[in-house]
Amino acid sequence: MSGIFSTKPIDTLIGETEGKQGLKKTLNAVDLTLLGIGAVIGTGIFVLTGVAAAQYSGPALVISFILSGIACFFAALCYAEFSSMVPVAGSAYTYSYAALGEIWAWIIGWDLILEYAVSISAVAIGWSGYAVTLLKSIGINLPVAVTAAPGAGGVVNLPAMLIIALISWLLISGVRNTSNLNGVIVVIKLAVVVLFIVLAVWHVNPTNWHPFMPFGFHGVVSGAAIIFFAYLGFDAVSTAAEETVNPQKNLPRGILYSLLICTALYIIVAGILTGVVKYTQLNNPAPVAYALAKIGINWGSALVSVGAICGITSVLLVITYGQTRIFFAMSRDGLIPEIFGRVSEKHKTPITSTVIVAIVTIIASGFLPIGIVAELANIGTLFAFIIVSIGVWVLRYRQPDRKRAFRTPWVPVVVPLAVLSCGYLVFNLQEATLIRFVVWFAIGMVVYFAYSRNHSELQKKLASEDKSVS
């Protein structure tokens, strides 16, 4: 039983990236920062701000973003240290393998599989909704039969399926192409966010900020737990480790820069949004565009809709990228079938895992009426943040002399704050979300003991060493 708690040496993890299954290194700190912004500025700012303000936080949405940002910042410091020590694909999964052992790595990997897959399908459906609305505004009316799932009054959601197929093709064609496209999209949507700020700030009515906390502080914390979905981006940045030039320096920069930039924008937009429109009117699938239309700036509203589509596209791009890299890392360790780790000879990208992720999420987004499943993604993210933060402290104790290009400051303070703040947000999620997470966890345990433990490369190595000793 003790074998399942065996850790994988960091030198071994890094050495595995140097073989023929390694990925092509092309990304720098700017690319990684844009990758993070690409994941963060999207569904959270263009969709969830309205829901969180109307149902949970009210004008205190600003405080909700600050709370989520603080929890993320503590965790980001821990991610930054890990990424500088273990520049390997797999993010929290790989970090847990190095610090806490195989069973914890599996739990996090299984958790991330659900988190990313559900997010891909949900974001694609959100993209479809924005695209259909934008086309309608210019006189192109697509029939409901091909723009909605059976449970939502249609037959199939073709736009959602097509955007996942396009994103997957881009990922297979090479990470450099993906990064270039993401960079263009990020510039567009940042321009749109700034445009909203410039246009709307003059229309802020302070009376809309009263009452400031209509649902009390509990509502503010619940709102923070909901919008945590918006901060998935820096976790996705760390999955790009093996495709990063000088990852020991560039990964921490990409993680921290993207988080700080996005948190500042979120706080500004939340304050202006709730000042322009009464929070009770913001339960809208396109709250930012709605706010500009409400004050009569229709051309600005149309531009924001275009920016929202760009924003959601880049979110889809980054989370699909992250999902495939996690599969790649888990496959290389033998915890899931080897087929998931096959790399394209031409483009040096994990082609099989990309295709499999694409097929599953295309089917889900096309035929299932999946709404905003932010809470289910959130609990997975928060759990991963907690485990990674603990892992940093454990490695400080077990390997104090190992070189760290970035060191988390005040570890005895930062780690407990990361664990407590993320844990507090977990317990403010809905009970149904907690139950679904426990069920998925139980299924994962069955899979691990029935398949993964028996195929684990680490377990095979340990068994072989035991035989040679005896």
User: For 266-307, how does the pLDDT look when each residue is reduced to its tens digit (9 = 90+)?
Assistant: 999 999 999 999 999 987 767 888 898 888 888 888 888 888
Q: What is the domain extent for residue 262?
A: 25-459
When the pLDDT of each residue in the chain is averaged and rounded to a whole number, the result is 83
CA pair distance 194, 92, nearest whole angstrom: 32
Q: What's the residue count for the chain?
A: 470
CATH number of 47's domain? 1.20.1740.10
The number of beta carbons lying within 10 Å of the beta carbon of residue 68 is: 28
| pTM given for the model | 0.81
Residue 6 lies in a domain: no
Alpha carbon 460 to its chain's center:
32
Asked, for residue 221, whether it belongs to a domain, the answer is: yes
High-pLDDT (> 90) share of the chain, % = 26
- Which of 43-47, 101-105, 229-233, 379-383 shows the lowest per-residue confidence on average (mean pLDDT)? 229-233
pLDDT value for 222: 87
Give the residue-averaged pLDDT of 410-438.
87
- Number of domains into which the chain is organized: 1
Mean of the pLDDT values across residues 148-154?
78
Instruction: Give the phi and the psi of residue 27 in degrees, each rounded to 5.
Output: -95, 145
67-71, 198-202, 227-231, 388-392: least confidently modelled range: 227-231
Instruction: Sort residue 372 into left (φ over 0), alpha (ψ -120 to 50) or beta.
Output: beta
Query: Looking at 39-48, 54-63, 230-239, which range is the least confident one?
Result: 230-239
> Does residue 376 form part of some domain?
yes
110 in any annotated domain:
yes
For residue 157, the SS3 value is strand
- Summarised one tens digit per residue, pLDDT across range 77-115 is 898 888 888 877 677 888 899 899 999 999 999 988 888
Structural domain includes residue 20: no
**pLDDT tens digit sequence for 366-403:** 887 654 455 667 788 888 889 989 999 999 999 888 88
